[in-house]
Amino acid sequence: MSIDVFLVDDHRLFLSGVKAELSEEFRIVGSAHDVDTAIAEIRGYDPDVVLVDVHMPDGGGIAVIESVGETNPGVKFLALSVSDQAEDVIAMIRAGARGYVTKTIEPPDLADAVRRIHAGDAVFSPRLAGFVLDAFAGAIPSDQDPELDQLTAREKDVLRLIARGFAYKQVARKLEISIKTVETHVSSVLRKLQLSNRHELARWASKRHIV
Amino acid sequence: MSIDVFLVDDHRLFLSGVKAELSEEFRIVGSAHDVDTAIAEIRGYDPDVVLVDVHMPDGGGIAVIESVGETNPGVKFLALSVSDQAEDVIAMIRAGARGYVTKTIEPPDLADAVRRIHAGDAVFSPRLAGFVLDAFAGAIPSDQDPELDQLTAREKDVLRLIARGFAYKQVARKLEISIKTVETHVSSVLRKLQLSNRHELARWASKRHIV
DNA sequence: ACGACAATCGGGGATCCCCCCCAACGGCTC
DNA sequence: GAGCCGTTGGGGGGGATCCCCGATTGTCGT
């Protein structure tokens, strides 16, 4: 029941270092130092976990994750990089990586990370954890705004549609009421929320993720 | 150099179970089974890690995390709950928890989680990891949209201001150009992005986090 | 030198948005 | 029943937006 691990890194020295450190505990089924052979070999071996470098020629780790992900959805990826840049982390997670650790990691911690990735965990270096948490927290505010409570049900209906960019006429048609009624509701909403026009209203709504 | 842990759970049986399992490895400096005493005692003990239940009377874990977070920013929180509902996870992370695990966790894994939380890691149950990753991936698209490349520099300037809710007149004043020029740019942008009016444009921009 | 294009500006007109005024109906509370 | 409020609708006016037409300047590449 050992875990099959595949390594991808364009620095061969680093590759052999990782291999040496992990081979005691895991079965290293293979390794590659460029994107194309990595994709081909991972498809063949179908390992449990792939450690993949972020920055490589010909597309980097993203290309590997996206290509393999389509054919071998069971393979889990752990990004391993010198970079702790937000955009790199985001890009890898978007591509489908289940974790991201920097190369400053200690060998025992890396082994632990591989185990956790295989168990289904998400793994991030301590420094990146806070960043990921912040982004996650900002992702879906969604809580009840007390300001929304001052609005009546119908006003909220109108607000939602206005926030989506519909013209008064379209809102009227969707709610099956007259344009004049839509105007009345919008006026009430603007007054209650202390806004001056529908553009500010749309902005107010988008900031609150009311869509 | 042992880790000081404080426990908060309104179920005393569960509380003593956790205490029994963790007391070998960690120093359990105290525990509480309601929100108010939890807040008071955590402030006094200033532990390294607090295990806190999500659902409790008088505000639940959120109240504990938010109150203590203001006075003792060094305290790290691990949410421990029977619920794996997305809204619970989001609420706790927003409050300031550094991790969230379900109570189905095995004792050794819980001990491991406490260690990782203390080390600065973010910890999530395997089932929650995918959810958190998805939310994170959606949080900041931010990558280069190929559609943005069709726009000229000036058009993007105008787009940014329109997206912020400014009227043409205000955009004109800010960019020190005529209203007519603003209209021309907006028209080009609308045509290139296949949108029909400035409201859809504002929405298009807000979805892409162009602000 | 010529064409292509970005950026600037304008006229005119159709439509949309915003804000006043107003009023009717139903439901609720006092 | 009288009053309050939500929801519905209307008139009219002034400003904002959108699209059609046009134009000039400057830069860049062939």
- How long is the CA B153 to C1' D24 vector, in angstroms? 21
B92: nearest CA partner in chain A:
A137
Q: Distance between CA B162 and CA B211 in Å, rounded?
A: 10
Q: How confident is the model at residue A155 (pLDDT cuts 50, 70, 90)?
A: confident
Contact A202, A162 (CB under 8 A): yes
Contact A167 B124 (CB under 8 A): no
Q: Which residue of A has its CA nearest to B167?
A: A199
Contact B197 A167 (CB under 8 A): yes
Q: Lowest-pLDDT range, A123-127, A175-179, B94-98? A: A123-127
Q: Which residues contact B79 (CB under 8 A, 6 or more apart)?
A: B52, B53, B54, B61, B89, B92, B97, B99, B100, B101
Cβ B116 to strand C below 7 Å: no
Report, as an integer, the average pLDDT of B87-93: 80
Residue A80's nearest CA partner among A125, A126, A30, A48 is A125
Length of chain B: 211
| Protein CA at A95 to nucleotide C1' at D2, angstroms | 66
Per-residue model confidence as pLDDT tens digits over B17-28: 888 888 888 998
Give me the pLDDT at residue A185, please: 86
B202 touches chain A (CB under 8 A): yes
Does A1 or B126 have the greater pLDDT score? Answer: B126
The answer to whether the C-beta of B55 is closer than 7 A to strand D is no
Mean residue pLDDT of chain B comes to 82
pLDDT of amino acid A89: 81
pLDDT per residue as tens digits for the range B91-117: 888 788 888 888 888 888 888 888 888
- Of the pLDDT bands very low, low, confident and very high (cuts 50, 70, 90), residue B135 is low
Residues of A in contact with B166 (CB under 8 A): 199
The span from the CA of A161 to the CA of A93, in Å, is: 32
Gap from A181 CA to C21 C1', Å: 15
Rounded to the nearest angstrom, the minimum Cα separation between B16 and chain A is 27
Q: What's the mean pLDDT in A148-162?
A: 82
Which of helix, strand or coil describes residue A152? coil
CB neighbours of residue B63 within 10 Å? 18
As a whole number, mean pLDDT of residues A157-175 equals 84
For the record, the structure tokens of B135 come out as 């939310």
- CA-to-CA separations, B153 to B150, B156, B177, B179, B200, in angstroms, rounded: 10, 5, 15, 18, 20
pLDDT higher than 80, residue A86: no
Q: What is the pLDDT of residues B4-17, one digit of tens each?
A: 999 899 888 888 88
Contacts of B129 in chain A (CB under 8 A): 98, 120-122
Higher pLDDT, A51 or B89: A51
Residue B145: predicted pLDDT: 62
Give the nucleotide nearest to A170 (CA→C1'): C16
**Is the predicted pLDDT of residue A134 greater than 80, yes or no?**
no
What predicted TM-score, i.e. pTM, was given to this entire model? 0.65
- Inspect the interface and report whether the beta carbons of A135 and B140 lie closer than 8 Å: yes
Give the chain B residue whose CA is nearest to the CA of A196.
Answer: B165
**pLDDT tens by residue, A32-58:** 888 888 888 888 888 999 998 888 887
The minimum CA-CA distance between A130 and chain B, rounded to whole Å, is: 7
Cα(A144)–Cα(B81) distance, rounded to whole angstroms? Answer: 22
β-bridge mates for residue A78, sequence order: A51, A99
Alpha helices (H) in chain A, listed in sequence order:
12-22, 35-45, 60-71, 86-95, 107-119, 126-139, 146-149, 153-163, 168-175, 179-193, 198-207
Contact call for residues B51 and B14 (beta carbons, < 8 A): no
CB–CB of B136 and A132 under 8 A? yes
Q: Is the pLDDT of residue B31 over 80?
A: yes
Indicate whether B140 pLDDT > 60.
no
pLDDT at B139 over 60: no
In chain B, the percentage of residues whose pLDDT exceeds 90 is 4
Contact assignment for A124 to B122 by CB distance below 8 Å = yes
User: How far is C-alpha A41 from the geometric centre of its chain's CA atoms?
Assistant: 26
Query: How does pLDDT run across B146-172, given as a tens digit for each residue?
Result: 667 777 888 888 888 888 888 888 888
Per-residue model confidence (pLDDT) at position A92: 83
Query: Of all residues in chain A, what percent carry a pLDDT higher than 70?
Result: 91
Q: Which residue has the higher pLDDT, A171 or B140?
A: A171
The model's pLDDT over B167-206, given as tens digits with 9 standing for 90+, comes to: 888 888 888 888 888 888 888 888 888 888 888 888 888 7
A74 touches chain B (CB under 8 A): no
Output the pLDDT for position B6: 92
Q: State residue A144's pLDDT score.
A: 56
Chain-wide mean pLDDT for chain A?
A: 82
Q: What is the pLDDT of residue A191?
A: 85
Q: Closest chain A residue to B132 measured between Cα atoms?
A: A136
B139 in A contact zone (CB under 8 Å)? yes
B120 interfaces chain A, CB cutoff of 8 Å:
yes
Say whether pLDDT at B207 is over 80.
Answer: no
Amino acid (1-letter code) at residue B197: N
Q: What domains can be seen in chain B, in order of their start residue?
A: 1-120 (3.40.50.2300), 123-211 (1.10.10.10)
B193 beta carbon to strand D: under 7 Å: no
Residue type (1 letter), A182: V
Q: Which residues in chain B (81-110) have CB-CB distances under 8 A to chain A?
A: 87, 90-91, 93-94, 98
